[in-house]
Amino acid sequence: MHELSICQSIVNSIQEEMAGMDPRPKRLISARIVVGELRQIVPEFMQNAYQNLTKGSDIEGSQLEIKALTIHGTCEACGWTGPLSKDLCECPSCSSSKLKMEGAMDLYLDNLEIENYVTPEA
Q: In this predicted model, what pLDDT tens digit does every residue of 4-51 receive, in sequence order?
A: 999 999 999 999 999 999 888 889 999 999 999 888 899 999 999 999
> What confidence score (pLDDT) does residue 40 get?
87
**For the whole model, what pTM was predicted?**
0.81
**Are β-strands 81-84 and 63-69 bridged in parallel, bridged antiparallel, or unpaired?**
unpaired
CB 119 within 8 A of CB 24: no
Strand ranges (DSSP E) for 37-106? 63-69, 71-75, 81-84, 99-102
Which residues are CB-contacts of 75 (< 8 A; sequence separation ≥ 6)?
81, 91, 93, 94, 96, 98, 99, 100
Q: In this predicted model, what pLDDT tens digit does every residue of 70-90 receive, in sequence order?
A: 899 999 999 999 998 877 788
Question: At the topology level of CATH, where does 3-70+107-115 sit?
Answer: hypothetical protein PF0899 fold (3.30.2320)
> What confidence score (pLDDT) does residue 89 get?
81
| Segments making up each domain of the chain, as ranges | 3-70+107-115
